[in-house]
Amino acid sequence: MHPARLIQLHNGNCLPILTSMPSESVDAVITDPPYCSGGASAKLRTTQDPTKKYQNSGTIRTYPTFPGDNRDQRSFGMWATLWLEQCYRVARESAHCLVFTDWRQLPVMTDAIQAAGWT
């Protein structure tokens, strides 16, 4: 049985947060990055506000907008690899990485996870 550990949640731009963290310091990576999908066209996927892309007109509860949801699939994969490499660096050897993603980004996210060092 492991001794009790402090649980910390980080909410924000992940690259500055991750680069300030020591190596091998986390037990799990659980993340819900911007999906960079949605929208009826390539233009809407990269220019439309996320609250309009992901919240339907019948949505009862609204959520605030967020930055970083304007990448095409290639740049999304490169960006995801950057922060997933940092997640790998800060993760202990036995850590797991759980990433929420849109089905349209699943292939590129799988590539980014592996490129970053995760298996």
Distance of alpha carbon 4 from alpha carbon 6, whole angstroms: 7
Distances in Å between the alpha carbon of 27 and those of 6, 61, 99?
A: 11, 33, 15
What are the CA-CA distances from residue 112 to residues 43, 47, 75 (Å)?
24, 23, 11
d(CA 22, CA 28): 14
* pLDDT at position 86: 98
Instruction: Confirm if 37 and 1 have CB atoms less than 8 A apart.
Output: no
Q: Encode pLDDT of 32-81 as tens digits.
A: 888 777 655 666 666 667 666 666 667 677 777 666 777 788 888 999 99
pTM: 0.77
Domain boundaries, the chain: 14-38+71-115
